[in-house]
Amino acid sequence: MADGNGNDAKRTVPGTADGEMRAPLAGWVPPETLSRPAEEASESARYREIDNWFTYHAPSPDQIPRYDAIRRTARIMARVIWDQCPPSADRTAAIRKLRECVMTANASIACGGK
């Protein structure tokens, strides 16, 4: 690749902290060279979906009891897991996945199922 002055220049590899010039990764294509044909319309829909996922949604009055029901039920399940399972990595994973379940369920409420 020429650097604008007719000299061959190496492209920096994305993510290099030292800024050192290196040969490009095999198969790496600069994002600016990618074409996006008919995906433009669906891409904007994807961006709206991403924006919805990463936007704070203050709870409405009807959502609060739904959040509480999910947390209350999960708390009961977490206590059952804690009391009935032997101390182990699996018990820890079960509690972690239950927390993830609560967060995902709450996200479905916050994002309106979208």
CB atoms within 10 A of CB 109: 17
Mean pLDDT value across residues 86-106? 97
**Single pTM value for the model:** 0.57
What are the residues whose beta carbons fall under 8 Å from the beta carbon of 81, sequence distance 6 or more? 91, 94, 95, 98
- What's the distance, CA 45 to chain centroid? 17
Q: State pLDDT tens for residues 29-55.
A: 666 665 555 556 677 888 888 888 888
Mean pLDDT value across residues 109-113? 88
Residue 13 has a pLDDT of: 47
Residue 114 has a pLDDT of: 76
Would residue 38 be called left, alpha or beta, if left means φ above 0 and alpha means ψ between -120 and 50 degrees? Answer: alpha
Indicate the pLDDT class of residue 20, thresholds 50, 70 and 90. Answer: low
* Residue ranges covered by each domain of the chain: 61-114
Q: State pLDDT tens for residues 62-81.
A: 999 999 999 999 999 999 99
How far apart are the C-alpha atoms of 14 and 3, rounded to whole Å?
A: 17
